[in-house]
Amino acid sequence: MDSETRIVLIGPPGAGKGTQAKKLGDYYSVPHLSAGELLRSEVENETEAGKRAKPYLDQGQLVPVEIVVDIMVKNMFERSEHNGFVVDGFPRNPEQYERLTDYMEENNLSLDCAVDLVIPEEMVYRRLTGRRVCRECGANFHLEFRPPEQEGQCDDCGGELKQRDDDTRETIQERLEVFQNESKPVARKFERDGILAKVDATGDIDEVFEKITTTLEERLA
């Protein structure tokens, strides 16, 4: 597969979009771009966009479209090197979808596949409340499914592990509602475009990865 491969991962919070997008990026040798991570880094760096985005992230709401579209388009298409990617978490509502589609049409670009990771809600809570993330390198762990060797410490770089501010039960519920109301229609639009691939995301990390790559190989052949 060449370096122009363009894949987006959609699906509810806790479906494993970030984990799988990172693995897929390595596998296909293209950058992995996470909308949530890019926004959190704007917040940490206290940029203008970050200051505006912070209250939305804290409440599990989608940040305003003009902030996220600018950041994502810049990272997806306006880098100097090749412009293949695996994106997780964008587009996340119909307006973002329209803005992305317009940009791609104007520039003669297209996506290869939108992978929809499907997972029941009860599993979302279990996955997200146990998730721990390294402050230094961003690696993901899980108290139950992937505990670090030393409690509170990253296996990869020794950094401190923390719980994401939005991984509380209350915010997870809000994020799930946002997903149902705003992101589900995006999957239907990709389906209409003929590029949606639904993948069952309930297995462990390697099983789900295997299912995604098998599906992509069939689609992109």
Indicate which residues carry an active-site annotation: 17, 92, 131, 164, 175
Shortest Cβ 55–ligand AMP spacing (Å):
9
Nearer of residues 7 and 57 to ligand AMP, judged by Cβ:
57
Give how far Cα 71 sits from Cα of 1, 18, 79, Å. 26, 17, 12
Nearest to ligand AMP by Cβ — which residue? 36
Shortest Cβ 216–ligand AMP spacing (Å):
21
Shortest Cβ 219–ligand AMP spacing (Å):
23
23 residue type, one letter = K
Nearer of residues 23 and 175 to ligand AMP, judged by Cβ:
175
β strands within the chain, DSSP E: 6-10, 32-34, 85-88, 113-118, 131-134, 140-142, 161-162, 196-200
| Backbone CA torsion sign across 81, 84, 90, 94 | positive
Shortest Cβ 221–ligand AMP spacing (Å):
29
Which residues are near ligand AMP by CB under 6 A?
Answer: 13, 35-36, 39, 56-57, 60-63, 68, 89-90, 92, 96, 166, 175
Asked whether 76 and 96 are in contact (CB, 8 A), the reply is no
Nearer of residues 18 and 84 to ligand AMP, judged by Cβ:
18
Nearer of residues 8 and 196 to ligand AMP, judged by Cβ:
8
Calpha distance 144→23 (Å, rounded): 21
| 170 CB-near residues (< 8 Å, 6+ apart) | none
